[in-house]
Amino acid sequence: MRALPTLRQLRYLVALAEHKHFGRAAEACFATQSTLSAGLQELENLLDVKLVERSKRRVMLTPLGEAIVARSRTVLREAEDIAELASASKDPLSGALRLGVIPTIGPYLLPRALPPLRQAYPNLRLYLREDMTARLLDALNDGDIDVALIALPFQTDELAVRPLGRDPFQLACRSDDPLAKTTTPELSYLPDERLLLLDEGHCLREHALAACRLEPSRHRDDFRATSLPTLVQMVANNLGVTLLPKMAVDSGLLTGTGLVARPLAKSAPAREIALVWRPTTPRMVEFNLLADMLAQFVAG
Q: What is the pLDDT of residues 272-292, one digit of tens each?
A: 999 999 998 888 889 999 999
Q: Do domains 7-87 and 169-271 have the same CATH topology?
A: no
pLDDT at 270 over 90: no
pLDDT of residue 224: 66
By the 8 A CB rule, do 98 and 145 touch? yes
Q: Could you tell me which residue, 180 or 255, shows the higher pLDDT? A: 255
For the chain, the structural domain boundaries read 7-87, 93-164+275-295, 169-271
154-169 pLDDT per residue, tens = 899 889 999 999 999 8
Helix (H) or strand (E) holding 27: helix 22-28
Q: State the Cα–Cα distance between residues 137 and 159, nearest whole angstrom.
A: 9
- 194: pLDDT strictly greater than 80: no
pLDDT at 258 over 80: yes
Cβ neighbourhood burial of 119 (10 Å; 0-12, 13-18, 19+): exposed
Predicted local confidence at residue 197, as pLDDT: 82
Predicted TM-score (pTM) of this structure = 0.70
Quickly name the fold that domain 7-87 has: Arc Repressor Mutant, subunit A (1.10.10)
Q: Are 224 and 240 in contact (CB under 8 A)?
A: no
Does the pLDDT at position 217 exceed 80? Answer: no
Looking at residue 264, its pLDDT comes to: 80
Q: If one looks up domain 169-271 in CATH, what number appears?
A: 3.40.190.10
DSSP summary character for residue 180: G
Second-level CATH architecture of 93-164+275-295: 3-Layer(aba) Sandwich (3.40)
- Taking only the tens place, the pLDDT of each residue in 87-143 is 666 667 888 899 999 999 999 999 999 999 999 999 888 999 999 999 999 999 888
